[in-house]
Amino acid sequence: MTIEWRPPERFVFQGHSIAWGEMGEGPPAVVLHGTPFSSVEWRRIAPWLAKQRRVHYFDMLGYGWSDKPDGDVSRGIQNELFAALYAHWKLERPDVVAHDFGGSTALRGHLLNGLEFRSLVLIDPVAISPQGSPLVQAAKQNEKVFAELPAYVHEAILRAYIDGATYNPLREDEMQAYLRPWLGDEGQKAFWRQVAQMDDKYSEEVEWRYGEVRCPVTILWGDNDDWIPVKDGRELARRIPGATFQTVPDAKHLVPEDAPEAIAATVLQFWRSMEAG
């Protein structure tokens, strides 16, 4: 049994092929994935949102089914990609739902690229510095060593890393969906490349401007997230005018896997409350 998820469309960004897709009809919405994940994290949420929206999704540069170039795949390039897709899709004030560094990409796109949103739901976003686990720090200093590890060692580290992001253990087919883009010579190099390019500066460039956010925001946080502490979520909510904050029970960092129903229900209720208000 395998999970069949592959964005069907392609978009060329700075000479690189980006995988994207869309589903549903109605006003526009965009979902943005985190790291080291891909748009597969939205497979159980996007169909619910698509009952009320035309939902756009994509794999960021260096992730999933998109190209994995030997170059810049940092958060500094992802908001530029998002801005290019925003224009390509001819979006006007979409509702945006973003997880992890997808949340950073949404905030950077809004504050640096001037992208306007109708609303923004942030799920355990990378937004408050400092950030970076001991593994990230080690990889930043030794990218070549990690990129050349024996394949079985690389896969073992990757499995443990992803497993640490979920409250409930993933089934093997689910784990494989997250592992697949990072296996093989190209995938292994791509994984350690994106880890080595993690840098607090991409948050620091915008976090002093969170008071300038121009749309309603709600923030969800896995109550057992040990990648990014819940206190960072509360601090982010304090910095964004009018933002609401709530924790998601029995969830760690990869909330879209631990609690997809809770995310879908909260997002749909948030949208309804805006329409009623």
Say if residue 84's pLDDT is above 90. Answer: yes
How much is the average pLDDT of 253-277? 94
Say if residue 234's pLDDT is above 70. Answer: yes
How much is the average pLDDT of 46-65? 98
How much is the average pLDDT of 194-215? 95
* Strand-strand pairing, 9-13 and 16-23: antiparallel
- 196 and 140 Cβ atoms separated by less than 8 Å: yes
Say if residue 16's pLDDT is above 80. Answer: yes
* Predicted pLDDT at 277: 62
How much is the average pLDDT of 21-27? 98
Q: How far apart are CA 77 and CA 194, in angstroms?
A: 12
The confidence band for 130, taking pLDDT boundaries of 50, 70 and 90, is confident
Q: How far apart are CA 245 and CA 242, in angstroms?
A: 10
Radius of gyration over alpha carbons of the chain, in Å? 17
CB atoms inside a 10 Å sphere around CB 177? 22
* Cis omega (within 30 of 0) for bond into 94: no
How much is the average pLDDT of 96-124? 98
- 24 and 55 Cβ atoms separated by less than 8 Å: yes
Convert the pLDDT of each residue in 255-265 to its tens digit. 999 999 999 99
Amino acid at 149: L
- 87 and 37 Cβ atoms separated by less than 8 Å: no
Strand, coil or helix: 220 = strand
Partner residues linked to 122 by β-bridges: 98, 219
Structure tokens at 151: 């394949």
The confidence band for 274, taking pLDDT boundaries of 50, 70 and 90, is confident
How much is the average pLDDT of 61-70? 98
* Predicted pLDDT at 245: 98
The confidence band for 151, taking pLDDT boundaries of 50, 70 and 90, is very high
* Predicted pLDDT at 96: 99
Indicate the CATH number for domain 9-129+201-276: 3.40.50.1820
Partner residues linked to 248 by β-bridges: 222
Convert the pLDDT of each residue in 156-201 to its tens digit. 999 999 999 999 999 999 999 999 999 999 999 999 999 999 999 9
- 211 and 239 Cβ atoms separated by less than 8 Å: yes
Say if residue 276's pLDDT is above 80. Answer: no
* Predicted pLDDT at 275: 82
28 to 55, 136, 248: CA distances (angstroms) = 6, 35, 26
Strand, coil or helix: 1 = coil
More confident residue, 4 or 214: 214
**Considering only CA atoms, which of 271, 275, 266 is closest in space to residue 246?**
266
**Considering only CA atoms, which of 214, 215, 219 is closest in space to residue 236?**
219
Q: How far apart are CA 107 and CA 98, in angstroms?
A: 9
Average pLDDT of the residues of the chain: 96
- 33 and 63 Cβ atoms separated by less than 8 Å: yes
Strand, coil or helix: 70 = coil
Q: How far apart are CA 152 and CA 208, in angstroms?
A: 42
